[in-house]
Amino acid sequence: MLLEWLDFEFSVVKWTSQREMEDLGLYTFWSRTDDELSLVCPTGCLPKDIEEYENGWVAFRVVGKMDFSVVGILADISKCLAEIKISIFAISTFNTDYILIKREGVLLAQEALEANGWKFQNKKE
């Protein structure tokens, strides 16, 4: 399968107080549980009232729409990166999976994934 780097740096944000979700443009992922509201968005779109956050994430995605019967894609990517000690923050949407890693691991991650048979349609240099 083909992977694609996104051209944004991302931040991961958390609120524990009540807050409404808002439209922050493309590549914005919200999730709400019983004890937090989380947001992943391009760093340039960060709201001003954030409680906790971490910057420095970059993302790639599996290109194309994946059928729900496809098994092991995220597990394969995660295993490959875990073997080289790169943590991931994974987000799944209806169409595909997005994998975020810290900026400093980009070249190492790309090299490891390519060595395991993955291809990037846009390589990082």
Per-residue pLDDT at 66 exceeds 90? no
Identify the CA nearest to 40 among candidates 9, 66, 4, 17: 9
**Which pLDDT score, from 0 to 100, does residue 122 have?**
95
**Which pLDDT score, from 0 to 100, does residue 46 have?**
95
Whole-model pTM? 0.92
Quick one: average pLDDT of 3-30?
94
Going along the chain from its start, the domains and CATH numbers come out as 2-120 (3.30.2130.10)
Per-residue pLDDT at 124 exceeds 90? no
Helix/strand/coil percentages in the chain, nearest 5: 20, 35, 45
DSSP 13: E
Whether residue 62 contacts residue 73, with contact meaning beta carbons closer than 8 Å, is answered with yes
Which tokens go with 94? 């209806």
With a pLDDT cut of 90, the percent of the chain lying above it is 90
**Cα separation, 118 vs 26, whole angstroms:** 25
